[in-house]
Amino acid sequence: MYKNIHNMETITKDKFVNLLRDKFISFFIVGDLLKIFGLSLNTNSALLGRLKKNGIVQALVKGKYLFLLTKNPPEDFGIANFFLPNR
């Protein structure tokens, strides 16, 4: 359980999973979580560490993650496209 310092909202694993499932998110970068939850960088790192340990997310490369409990699992090409730089 992690607290958002700005509005003291508690972020649980269940809330994290439900929010990403509801938004059909399969991939995300660290900045996405900072925007969605408004967490500090340190709190965000702790949350990601806990989620990786519990098999909820998988680090693909530094700063890019795969949400393993998504409703719409990505295909190999979707994962490959995630690695391409934005144009």
Helices and strands (H and E) in the chain: how many: 4, 5
Which of 7-21, 40-54, 62-76 has the largest mean confidence? 40-54
If pLDDT is split at 50, 70 and 90, which confidence band does 39 have?
confident
Query: Which CATH number is 2-74's, of 1.10.3720.10, 3.40.50.2000, 1.10.10.10, 1.20.140.10?
Result: 1.10.10.10
| Structure confidence at residue 67 (pLDDT) | 92
| Structure confidence at residue 1 (pLDDT) | 52
> How confident is the model over 64-81, as a mean pLDDT?
79
Two structure tokens written together for 39: 């967490």
> How confident is the model over 1-6, as a mean pLDDT?
47
Is the pLDDT assigned to residue 8 strictly greater than 70?
A: no
